[in-house]
């Protein structure tokens, strides 16, 4: 098969359809999100929160960079499907190692993670051999960054304690910062966002699907936890509150931001800039907030009455502080980057957050638990 046979066609109206192999690939990240939420539940400490947040960003980066590659690769080609299946196998190993990534399975996590990055990018470089030179040149720059970060990930896997943290932070920072710096590489310079040929509809749909699978974790945790609990008034109310939180988070993203952002994305003259700002970066806190909210829902269901535990308070605050401000930022960055806001504009922005349904629900969760506790105490 020639290299050109594995590239997406840019001809015709509309965006490229998300392939079934891409959806199958996402199942690995459903498992990864589940592992991360359980990691936070099992390690309710500042150290556990830091590890979970760090690993969540790493999981997002490897998924997002794969999404970038599929803007060029045709998922209907057999060899591309084989690539995805191999990446799935490595992703399953990576996800399985997540709970012990800072323990005895750090090297396994690092090897699987670096393997996914470098295999996918090397394949894209090969596929673009007959494509546009500037695109292939950019993926060669990316390969340089991934080799450097891969060495740091693997070195961190061999290290322990603070040394592992240090090496992995530098590696992840390099991967996050590389697009912002145009993948500047010695001897090759940097690219510009206009060099990145993007299919806006395809990328927007892929990011929306990741938000959906993150929300799915909230629904699974909500149903699975509620099944094994007494169906009394307090637990039913907690169940209803958790469901409303999931609904409001879906509504804020999909009903108020996603569709308009996609339209602006498709009509923007510099789609690469929008893809970097609104989809690669702004979605990190959105996804983080959804996953943290799932943790908060499980904690609330487990203890719907009585004294409010610090982990629940932290989860409620962190979930709201991550996801709710990030959605307006995503809407603002759909034009390609942060435009300077006037002071009234900033007040209006924060006002829209405070009026969001999920923000009000999260803020009232603690007061609701107090009411339930007082009511039960009165009955006794």
Domain that includes residue 322, residue range = 200-379
Asked whether residue 227 falls in the same domain as residue 318, the answer is: yes
Asked whether residue 246 falls in the same domain as residue 302, the answer is: yes
Is 4 a residue whose pLDDT tops 60? no
Q: Sign of the CA dihedral 368, 371, 375, 380?
A: positive
Backbone phi, then psi, for 304, in 5-degree steps? -75, -15
Start-to-end CA span in the chain (Å): 76
Asked whether residue 29 falls in the same domain as residue 133, the answer is: yes
**Domain end marker among 174, 195, 216:** 195
Tokens representing residue 264 in the block? 């602006």
In the block, residue with structure tokens 């299919």 = 199
Q: Residues 264-299: pLDDT tens digits?
A: 888 888 888 888 988 999 889 889 888 888 888 787
Estimate the crossing angle of helix 200-227 against helix 283-302, to 10 degrees.
10
DSSP for residue 23: H
Query: What percent of the chain shows pLDDT beyond 70?
Result: 78
Asked whether residue 158 falls in the same domain as residue 204, the answer is: no
**Domain end marker among 159, 177, 195:** 195
Asked whether residue 225 falls in the same domain as residue 142, the answer is: no
Asked whether residue 173 falls in the same domain as residue 225, the answer is: no
Band the pLDDT of 346: cuts 50, 70, 90.
Answer: very low
253 found inside a domain: yes
Asked whether residue 336 falls in the same domain as residue 222, the answer is: yes
Write out the E strands in the chain.
none
**Domain end marker among 165, 195, 225:** 195
10 found inside a domain: no
Contacts 24+ apart (CB under 8 A), 49-53: 49/314, 49/318, 51/101, 51/102, 53/288
d(CA 155, CA 164): 8
Asked whether residue 356 falls in the same domain as residue 253, the answer is: yes
Distance of CA 274 to the CA centre of its chain: 17
Band the pLDDT of 161: cuts 50, 70, 90.
Answer: very high
- SS3 state of residue 199: coil
Q: How many domains does the chain have?
A: 2
Asked whether residue 182 falls in the same domain as residue 233, the answer is: no
81 found inside a domain: yes
Calculate the average pLDDT of the chain: 82
Asked whether residue 335 falls in the same domain as residue 232, the answer is: yes
DSSP string over 327-343: HHHHHHHTTSS-PPPPH
Asked whether residue 187 falls in the same domain as residue 223, the answer is: no
Asked whether residue 310 falls in the same domain as residue 209, the answer is: yes
d(CA 366, CA 309): 10
d(CA 146, CA 122): 10
7 found inside a domain: no
């Amino acid at each position: 098969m020639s290299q050109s046979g594995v590239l997406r066609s840019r001809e015709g109206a509309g965006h490229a359809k998300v392939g079934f192999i891409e959806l199958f690939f996402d199942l690995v990240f459903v498992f990864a999100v589940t592992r991360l939420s359980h990691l936070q539940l099992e390690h309710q400490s500042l150290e556990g929160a830091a590890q979970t947040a760090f690993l969540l960003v790493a999981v997002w980066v490897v998924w997002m960079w794969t999404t970038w590659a599929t803007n060029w690769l045709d998922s209907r080609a057999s060899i591309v499907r084989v690539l995805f299946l191999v990446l799935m196998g490595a992703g399953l190993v990576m996800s399985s190692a997540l709970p012990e990534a800072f323990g005895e399975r750090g090297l396994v996590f690092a090897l699987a993670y670096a393997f996914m990055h470098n295999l996918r990018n090397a394949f894209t470089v090969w596929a673009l051999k007959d494509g546009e030179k500037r695109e292939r040149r950019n993926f060669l720059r990316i390969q340089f960054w991934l080799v450097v970060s891969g060495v740091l990930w693997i070195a961190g896997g061999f290290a322990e304690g603070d040394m592992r943290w240090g090496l992995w932070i530098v590696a992840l920072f390099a991967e996050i910062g590389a697009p912002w710096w145009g993948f500047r590489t010695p001897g090759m310079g940097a690219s510009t966002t206009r060099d990145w040929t993007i299919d806006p509809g395809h990328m927007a749909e892929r990011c929306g699907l990741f938000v959906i699978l993150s929300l799915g974790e909230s629904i699974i945790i909500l149903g699975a936890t509620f099944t094994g609990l007494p169906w009394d008034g307090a637990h039913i109310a907690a169940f209803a509150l958790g469901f409303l939180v999931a609904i409001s988070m879906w509504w804020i993203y999909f009903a108020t931001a996603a569709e308009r952002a996609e339209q602006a994305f498709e009509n923007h003259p510099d789609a690469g800039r929008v893809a970097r700002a609104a989809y690669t970066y702004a979605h990190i806190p959105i996804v983080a907030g959804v996953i943290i909210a799932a943790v908060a829902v499980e904690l609330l269901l487990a203890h719907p009455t009585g004294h409010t535990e610090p982990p629940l308070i932290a989860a409620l605050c962190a979930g709201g502080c991550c996801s709710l401000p990030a959605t307006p930022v995503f809407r603002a960055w759909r034009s390609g980057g942060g435009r300077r806001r006037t002071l009234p504009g900033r007040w209006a922005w924060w006002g829209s957050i405070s009026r969001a349904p999920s923000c009000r629900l999260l803020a009232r969760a603690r007061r609701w638990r107090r009411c339930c506790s007082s009511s039960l105490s009165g009955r006794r």
